[in-house]
Amino acid sequence: MAVGDRPPSPFAPLRPLIKPHEQDAAGGLRKLASALAGLDARVRLHVQLLDSEAVEHWSIEGGTGKPSVQRRAPKKKADVRLVLRRATWLAIAQGRLSPFDALFGGRMRFGGDTELGKRVARHLSDPSVPFVPPC
């Protein structure tokens, strides 16, 4: 389905982690860590959520092993770092916005291991939508 006058995105959104009416960013991050189970590699994410003047730092570990979510900057170097507004994270977690559309649209910044980031996106993508890698 098209958004406004724009054509539909070729990039798959994530499987919804939270319901469309939910506004719990922390709950979405906890579900993100759990959804990383089954990924064939351990991954450490550093997510910075921006909300007006406030910045929340989240450390998320997932993949192999027990998932972990803590509201703090990571103690160990993160494999992947994401910086985005709280509203953007909610749209991604609700499955309404593809992470690649957020990135290419300037709504999210990415740093770290690009290949691991793409593997994470593929692992979390909605299986009902064909996965199209960005490059």
Domain with 109 in it: what CATH number? 3.30.1050.10
**Would you state the pLDDT for residue 7?**
61
**Would you state the pLDDT for residue 34?**
94
**Would you state the pLDDT for residue 124?**
92
Whether 94 is in a domain gets the answer yes
Whether 99 is in a domain gets the answer yes
Q: If you ran DSSP here, which 8-state letter would residue 94 be given?
A: T
pLDDT average per 10 residues of sequence, the chain (135 residues): 58 90 95 92 95 93 89 88 97 93 95 94 87 73
Whether 46 is in a domain gets the answer yes
Whether 5 is in a domain gets the answer no
Range(s) of the domain holding residue 65: 25-121
Whether 18 is in a domain gets the answer no
Give the chain's domain count.
1
**Would you state the pLDDT for residue 5?**
54
**Would you state the pLDDT for residue 11?**
83
Task: Count Cβ neighbours within 10 Å for each residue of 56-74 and write b for 16 or more, e otherwise.
Answer: bebbbbbbeeebebeeeeb
**Would you state the pLDDT for residue 2?**
45
Whether 11 is in a domain gets the answer no
C-beta separation of 72 from 57 below 8 A = yes
Whether 71 is in a domain gets the answer yes
Whether 65 is in a domain gets the answer yes
